[in-house]
Homo-oligomer: A and B are copies of this chain.
């Protein structure tokens, strides 16, 4: 049905080799070039990537494994990366791997079948299966892991955000405003970013000689609904914290909803510092003070990095770390 090079050959009288050369940017007589181009147009010819891939072993596609498309962080990164890669003729195949799903195995296999040229991964918290699969894949294609560091791994390329420092600074901000009873709402127990953020929080407390209270550390799995519950837990404490540090976007929504429903006023009744709420920090009244991750920079860097790996297949170890910044709002009360 669809036109092939042979059809072009038949129409132009040129040889298969010549047409193929044209298609791949090799020099062809000006006259023949025009003839081929016209014929391609007429036939609505599209190169068959099955056939080309069979020969060249390149799919011109890269796989992007994310833990969820419902989490704002992943989605934003996908947006940036799609843009950059498309510009270079690469197509992005999305693959959601949650880490706790029976479907993961099948999904990864599909991705392997597709013969992507490279892989970008934001690993889910629970990811043994995925990690093993990656160790196998990295033998044949470049892989960049985002937002998580694997120790003792054959994987060499990581892109991180300095979550510990960010959490330290956020906590410090609350401490400097006079808060000693600071709750933190974390992601998944044992998750990499969760641990880093907790570390920063604890370091800040230690640094300022503030006693650490276990009951102030609650987990919300980075989800809005879980964040809501975690918040209720903090509110129900007899020694309720005077300030809360929420460690991602989606949970912050849950926290705000919870405070709203319990008629606890941000600033007046409780101080708050959020995470990555760029779009809505000013929608909220009072404006929220937030830690912001440099999502665009991370995405851009990653896209460029994978493109580079696709060319040179130099396999140097590389760990790139980005710093967060704090955007001041009016949600922290001096006490």
Residues of A within 8 A of B (CB): 1-2, 44, 46-51, 53-54, 57, 59-61, 68-70, 75-76, 78-79, 82-83, 86-87, 89, 91-96, 103, 106-107, 109-115, 136, 140, 224, 250, 253, 256-257, 260-261, 279-280, 282-285, 287
Q: A282 to B95, alpha carbons, bound, how many Å?
A: 31
Q: Given A48-B54, A60-B110, A83-B96, list of 8 further CB < 8 A pairs?
A: A46-B112, A70-B76, A82-B96, A86-B96, A89-B110, A91-B93, A260-B282, A284-B284
Known: A69-B82, A87-B103, A257-B283. A94 touches B96 (CB 8 A): no
Contact B282 A280 (CB under 8 A): no
Contact A59 B50 (CB under 8 A): yes
Q: A54 to B115, alpha carbons, bound, how many Å?
A: 14
Residue of B nearest to A1 (CB): B140
Residue of B nearest to A53 (CB): B50
| Interface pairs (24), CB distance under 8 Å | A2-B140, A46-B109, A46-B113, A48-B113, A48-B115, A49-B50, A50-B115, A51-B54, A61-B93, A69-B75, A69-B82, A70-B76, A86-B96, A86-B110, A91-B110, A91-B114, A92-B93, A93-B93, A224-B279, A253-B280, A257-B282, A260-B287, A261-B282, A285-B285
Contact B89 A92 (CB under 8 A): no
Contact A113 B49 (CB under 8 A): yes
| Chain B residues whose CB sits within 8 angstroms of the CB of A282 once the complex forms | 257, 260-261
Known: A109-B46, A110-B60, A224-B279. A86 touches B82 (CB 8 A): no
| Chain B residues whose CB sits within 8 angstroms of the CB of A283 once the complex forms | 253, 256-257, 260, 280, 284
| Chain B residues whose CB sits within 8 angstroms of the CB of A253 once the complex forms | 279-280, 283
Q: A91 to B76, alpha carbons, bound, how many Å?
A: 20
